[in-house]
């Protein structure tokens, strides 16, 4: 994804005065969780606490706070019902306070830590489906990398997605952080097999997927168990075809959308301590 750190720094540089608006507490059904935050300046805003009338009210109140002298911190207790045109049914406590240089530095630091801890998602192959998958995940909270052996196939990869040109793509599997997701869809079935085998043998991948038919999967299974030294338990972790079989549409953007959702679900299920630390870093704003 594009760097949120750069976006945050850009907002702060042009904001002048700003207020921090954070979700301090929730009850029932609410659009965002406790710790979600946004920044409001006299002319613009950054981030979101859920949109709708709740956010409009918070922005308006934040700008009132910015217009006052002194601390000006305040709280809003907002029922999300017909009174404000939202039907979530819950209740949100919103804390608003003016920002300063120390808070700005803390927010940037938290964003930098969060960006460093994003899960890695590797796309092997920059063909039609690879590029479509890269575009599908470009806005998601992952560090996406397209790995290719052919330089020309890295042209046109979506902005915000890293590219890696290498004659030995399986080395990228070995160098990947624990908990990474791997989608394998190169132009060469033999190369697919080598990459998938490397990913399955790691044992710590959140997701290993290979594009292809049931016949390709069966061929890989035979090779993996008889020649590559793999085990049935390792093979059982392979997702193939990627994106599932419920939707029969094989156009690249459709496969990519289904696979992106599948991979994000796997990354969320695999989330360990690192993700918890990321969430804690995001919530630093409400403790400053």
Q: What is the pLDDT of residues 137-182, one digit of tens each?
A: 999 999 999 999 999 999 999 999 999 999 999 999 999 999 999 9
Instruction: Tell me the percentage of the chain whose pLDDT exceeds 90.
Output: 78
What are 183's strand-pairing partners? 123, 209
- Any domain includes 162: yes
For position 258, what pLDDT does the model report?
97
Same domain, 176 and 258: yes
Residues spanned by the domain of 67:
4-115+280-287
- Any domain includes 104: yes
Same domain, 21 and 158: no
Same domain, 30 and 75: yes
Q: What is the pLDDT of residues 211-247, one digit of tens each?
A: 999 999 999 999 999 999 999 999 999 999 999 988 9
For position 274, what pLDDT does the model report?
42
Same domain, 60 and 133: no
Which residues are CB-neighbours of 167 under 8 A, at least 6 positions away? 149
Same domain, 94 and 34: yes
Same domain, 130 and 96: no
Distance CA 242, CA 254 (A): 11
Cα three-residue angle 34-35-39, rounded to 5 degrees? 125
For position 66, what pLDDT does the model report?
93
Residue 23 · residue 51 · CB < 8 Å:
no
In Å, how far from its chain's centre is CA 184? 19
CA-CA-CA-CA torsion for 154, 158, 164, 170, nearest 10 degrees? -90
Q: How many domains does the chain have?
A: 2
Distance CA 167, CA 155 (A): 17
Same domain, 107 and 177: no
Same domain, 42 and 138: no
For position 150, what pLDDT does the model report?
96
Token pair 């560090």 is found at: 143
- Name the residue among 165, 219, 156, 168 with its Cα closest to residue 193: 219
- Any domain includes 275: no
Token pair 């997605």 is found at: 161
Same domain, 93 and 148: no
- Name the residue among 120, 128, 93 with its Cα closest to residue 266: 120
Q: What is the pLDDT of residues 51-70, one digit of tens each?
A: 889 999 999 999 999 988 76
Q: Does the pLDDT at position 16 exceed 60?
A: yes
Token pair 């168990």 is found at: 225
Q: What is the pLDDT of residues 33-49, one digit of tens each?
A: 999 999 999 999 999 99
Q: What is the pLDDT of residues 83-142, one digit of tens each?
A: 777 777 789 999 999 999 999 999 999 999 988 899 999 999 999 999 999 999 999 999
């Amino acid at each position: 994804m594009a760097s949120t750190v750069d976006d945050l720094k850009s907002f702060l540089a042009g904001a002048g005065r700003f207020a921090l608006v954070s979700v301090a507490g929730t009850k029932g059904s609410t659009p965002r969780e406790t710790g979600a935050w946004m920044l409001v300046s006299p002319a613009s805003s950054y981030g979101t606490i859920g949109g709708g009338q709740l956010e409009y009210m918070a922005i308006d109140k934040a700008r009132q706070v910015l217009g006052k002298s002194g601390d000006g911190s305040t709280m809003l207790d907002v029922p999300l019902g017909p009174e404000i045109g939202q039907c979530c049914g819950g209740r949100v406590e919103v804390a608003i306070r003016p920002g300063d240089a120390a808070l700005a530095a803390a927010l940037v630091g938290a964003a930098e830590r969060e960006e460093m801890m994003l899960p890695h998602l590797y796309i092997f192959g920059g063909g039609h489906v690879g590029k479509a998958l890269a575009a599908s995940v470009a806005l998601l909270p992952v560090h996406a990398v397209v790995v290719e052996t052919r330089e020309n196939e890295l042209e046109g990869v979506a902005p915000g997605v890293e590219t890696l040109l290498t004659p030995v793509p399986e080395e990228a599997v070995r160098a990947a952080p624990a908990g990474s997701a791997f989608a394998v869809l190169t132009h060469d079935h033999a190369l697919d097999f080598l990459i998938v085998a490397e990913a399955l043998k790691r044992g710590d991948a959140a997701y290993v997927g290979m594009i292809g038919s049931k016949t390709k999967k069966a061929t890989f299974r035979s090779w993996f168990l008889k020649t590559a030294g793999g085990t049935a338990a390792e093979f059982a972790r392979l997702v193939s075809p990627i994106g599932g079989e419920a939707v029969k549409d094989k156009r690249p953007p459709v496969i990519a959308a289904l696979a992106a959702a599948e991979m994000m679900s796997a990354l969320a299920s695999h989330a360990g301590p690192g993700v918890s630390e990321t969430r804690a870093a995001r919530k630093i704003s409400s403790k400053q």
